[in-house]
Amino acid sequence: MTAVGLFILGGVVGRMKGGWPGWLKLPKVVKRLMMAACYVLALWLAGVAILPAVLIGVVLPWWGIVMGHGSYMDLALSPGKDNEFFAPVLNVIPGLSETDGPNYVRDFVGMALTGLTLTVPVSIALAFIGYPTWYWVVGVGKALSYAVGWLIQPNDGARQSPQWVTSLLGINGGGTIGEWLWGSVSVGMLYVFLMNGW
């Protein structure tokens, strides 16, 4: 039951980090701290003492929490300049240069790298205090979350959310579904991995 609650909480806060609900104009730093608090809660509920949980849930993954991914989140559905942190790395890989035009693989790799930026430091820290270190794998789930979002609701106008879903949950496209899924997976799986000794 705890795991289900953390999956739901992570999804809600992940979507709030993306700007939902529109009437609640929270500063970015507050939304980021809310996401970090979800990681701290998952760690603490899994048995990590509160001070290490704060260090591992807030300080170490902070760069991953605040890192931009806007150039990648549409997974090549629209052209645009890549001004994200990993652009120089992706531009030197053959076939992934932004001069090649919109590229699904480039955006997928960019999203996975931003996810790994959050999960790898957490995994390293968990190893130092004697916990399993496989949580880093969840970072790739960021790209998968957005890919699933765009599969469920592509940007073609054919499948739109009913108005009540848009109003209640803030789902109005594949990117918003990705925010729900990534928040859910990144928080819930942290707890699941620790509780199962992964």
Q: In angstroms, how far is CA 193 from the centroid of its own chain?
A: 17
Element (H, E) at 109: helix 104-128
Instruction: Please tell me which of 51-55, 59-63, 81-85, 155-159 the model is most confident about, judged by mean pLDDT.
Output: 51-55
What global pTM score does this model have? 0.91
Instruction: Please tell me which of 4-18, 64-78, 160-174 the model is most confident about, judged by mean pLDDT.
Output: 4-18
**Using CA atoms, how far apart are residues 123 and 141, in angstroms rounded to an integer?**
15
Q: Name the token pair of 86.
A: 């990993």
High-pLDDT (> 90) share of the chain, %? 58
**Using CA atoms, how far apart are residues 52 and 104, in angstroms rounded to an integer?**
38
**Using CA atoms, how far apart are residues 198 and 131, in angstroms rounded to an integer?**
8
